[in-house]
Amino acid sequence: MRTRMFRSAVLAIGLLAVAASVFAHHGNAAYDTDKTVTMKGTVTQWLWINPHTFLLIDVKDDSGKVAHWSAEGSAPADMMKRGWNMKSISVGQEVTLEVVPAKSGQPVGRIVQVTLPDGKVLQVMQSGGKNNSPTTDPTKE
């Protein structure tokens, strides 16, 4: 199959206070929750599986280099409550993806939201305010 040509990628780094999803079985220890990264790219895989759904997109930068981004959502049962389903995204679609990026610098993140070609926005993470784990033993406070 011929893949569609990628549009130019736009990598925008937003400085936001982003909340962790309350649906996550794990916290944000691996993620930099002080910022989000937004990109445009082409979907290569959309996996509707447990424990987390995930979206893989190819993002082309201005020099023509392609980055392969992997982004995790929540479990399907939780995503459905937010209007997602198995057919929400298709391979080959060009989408705008906003993620909380991994601290490692690898092209991995947690999905904040996806904007589909028709303009529809699907969100995973709550907006506003952080929801990270406590850093000290709460029973000793």
Partner 1 sequence: MKKCLAISIGALMLALAAPSLLPAQTAPAGEAKKAPPAPPRDLTGIWDPGNAGLQVMGPGKMRARFTPYGEELFKANKPGRGFTEVPVADANDPNDSCDPSGFPRNEMYELRPVQIVQTKSQILMLYQFNKIWRVIWTDGRPLPKDHEPTWYGYSVGHWENDDTFVVDTAGFTETTWLDNAGDPHSSDMRVQERFHRLDRDTLELSITIDDPKVYQKPWTGTDKLILKLQPANTELLEMICVPTEMELYKKIIANPAAGK
- In angstroms, the Cα distances linking 44 to 18, 25, 27, 51, 88 are 26, 26, 26, 20, 14
Q: Assess 22 for contact with partner 1 (CB under 8 A).
A: yes
Alpha helices in 1-141, H assignment, sequence order: 76-81
Number of residues that bind partner 1 (CB under 8 A): 52
Integer Cα distance of 107 and 126 in angstroms: 22
Instruction: Using CB atoms within 10 Å of the CB of residue 139, give its burial: 0 to 12 exposed, 13 to 18 middle, 19+ buried.
Output: exposed
Q: Assess 49 for contact with partner 1 (CB under 8 A).
A: yes
Contact partners, residue 116, CB within 8 Å, separation at least 6: 88, 89, 93, 95, 122
Interacting residue with partner 1 among 9, 39, 41, 46 (CB under 8 A):
46
* Neighbouring C-beta atoms of residue 116, cutoff 10 Å: 16
Judged by CB, which is closer to partner 1: 40, or 107? 107
Q: Assess 27 for contact with partner 1 (CB under 8 A).
A: yes
Q: Which of residues 59-88 bind partner 1 (CB under 8 A)?
A: 70, 72, 75-77, 80-81, 85-87
Q: Which stretch binds partner 1 (CB under 8 A): 8-16, 18-26, 58-66, 116-124?
A: 18-26
Residue 48, amino acid: W
Judged by CB, which is closer to partner 1: 60, or 110? 110
Interacting residue with partner 1 among 17, 91, 117, 121 (CB under 8 A):
91
The footprint of partner 1 (CB under 8 A) covers 1, 22-27, 29-31, 44-52, 54, 56, 70, 72, 75-77, 80-81, 85-87, 89-92, 102-109, 133-141
